[in-house]
């Protein structure tokens, strides 16, 4: 567990769907494309299913799962744009 003022580990935060898509594009993903029940994005041989737009925010828990499945590190996600 981190101690306040000592840890520099940046925290993920909930993001809007549009922000999720824009950031994934910045990280090299193409799309989103509609497929089945959920849209998806592609980078190389990785196909990443993303949530539908019906929710206002993508929760931190869901964002972590999306990043893990997409092979995206926390540092990559939070890196400079």
> How confident is the model over 47-75, as pLDDT tens digits?
999 999 877 899 999 999 999 999 999 99
Arithmetic mean of pLDDT, 10-38 = 94
pLDDT at residue 73, as a whole number: 95
Contact indicator for 52, 79 with CB cutoff of 8 Å: no
Contact indicator for 59, 67 with CB cutoff of 8 Å: no
pLDDT at residue 81, as a whole number: 62
Every domain of the chain and the residues it spans: 33-81
Arithmetic mean of pLDDT, 20-25 = 97
pLDDT at residue 56, as a whole number: 83
Pair of tokens at residue 35 = 């497929």
Arithmetic mean of pLDDT, 1-7 = 51
């Amino acid at each position: 567990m981190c101690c306040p003022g000592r840890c520099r580990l940046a925290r993920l935060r909930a993001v809007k769907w549009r922000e999720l898509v824009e950031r994934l594009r910045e990280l090299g993903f193409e799309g989103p494309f509609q497929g089945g029940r959920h849209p998806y994005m592609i980078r190389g041989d990785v196909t990443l299913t993303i949530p539908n737009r019906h929710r206002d925010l993508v929760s931190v828990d869901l964002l972590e799962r999306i990043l893990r499945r997409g092979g995206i590190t926390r540092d990559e996600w939070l890196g400079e744009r």
